[in-house]
Amino acid sequence: MSIARRLADLFRVKANKALDRAEDPREVLDYSYERQLEMLTKVRRGVADVATSRKRLDLQVTQLQQAADRLQAQATQAVDLGRDDLAREALTRRAAVTAQMGDITAQRDALSAEEAKLTTAATRLQARVEAFRTRKETIKATYTAAEAQTRVGEAVSGISEEMGDVGMAVQRAEDKTSQMQARAGAIDELLASGAIQDATATTAGRDDLQAALEAARGDQGVDRELAALKAGRSAPAVGGGQARPEVTSGQPEQERQR
């Protein structure tokens, strides 16, 4: 299969899908009904035209019949007057009129038969159009009810496009909320462990020792040294003697040497 053929087939498939989505069966039924009404109108117009022509021929036949009767009367009068020549002329004209009347009568009969056929066809077509109209309204009502039921079902089940968009928006909001909560919890844990410092916290009153203590948090060696230092300060003096009292800074140098 050539590329052009494949592209043409693909275009037709896409076009059919697009038309199927855009097509409303109710509109199609209404359009079909309108076309049938137009056809019925044309058939009725044809019946009217044939009836008009047939009526015109009827009038011509009537006029020719009257002319033939008049010529017959003239021929009779000519015979009574002994004018055979005039009687012969009247009869000749009457024969021509009779022949013409026969032709027109044949045409009229043909038109009458055509009028009868068209009338029967118009009656049948009208019956079909009325039946189609009834079926059309039934199908439209059924389709409308099914469409409404489908929309309600989609709205309730949440599978419609609108409800699907709402569900996706809610899901995205929940995901972002969970992500933000996890981020906030992680930041709180980092602040509590000292991995990061609170930039908004004040640094007033913090000396170098406090900073060193915070920096040395978790160092086991420093903790052991601190424990040993505390143990040495709390142990009694060597040799069993009493601890030498501390000398305040206000005592004189001589008293400190005694």
- What are the Cα distances from residue 20, in Å, to 13, 23, 24, 52, 80? 10, 5, 8, 47, 88
pLDDT in tens, 2-41: 776 665 666 566 555 555 566 788 888 889 999 999 999 9
Query: C-alpha 87: how far from its chain's center?
Result: 88
- What are the Cα distances from residue 253, in Å, to 197, 244, 246, 248, 257? 50, 16, 14, 11, 6
pLDDT range class, residue 205, cuts 50, 70, 90: very low
| Whether residue 252 has pLDDT greater than 50 | no
The single-letter DSSP state of residue 199 is T
In 3D space, the residue among 131, 123, 122 whose CA is nearest the CA of residue 32 turns out to be 131
Residues ≥6 apart with Cβ < 8 Å to 139: 25, 29
pLDDT in tens, 214-245: 665 556 566 677 788 888 776 554 444 444 44
CB atoms within 10 A of CB 3: 7
pLDDT in tens, 178-197: 888 888 887 777 777 766 66
CA dihedral 94, 97, 102, 107 (to 10 degrees): -170
CA distance 255 to 235: 27
Minimum mean pLDDT range among 20-24, 84-88, 149-153, 181-185: 20-24
Token pair of 172 as six digits: 């995205």
Ramachandran bin of 245, using left for φ above 0, alpha for ψ from -120 to 50, beta for the remaining angles: beta
Q: How much is the mean pLDDT over the chain?
A: 77
Q: How many CA atoms lie within 13 A of 256 on its CB side?
A: 8
DSSP-H helix ranges across the chain: 3-22, 25-80, 84-157, 161-193, 208-215, 220-234, 253-257
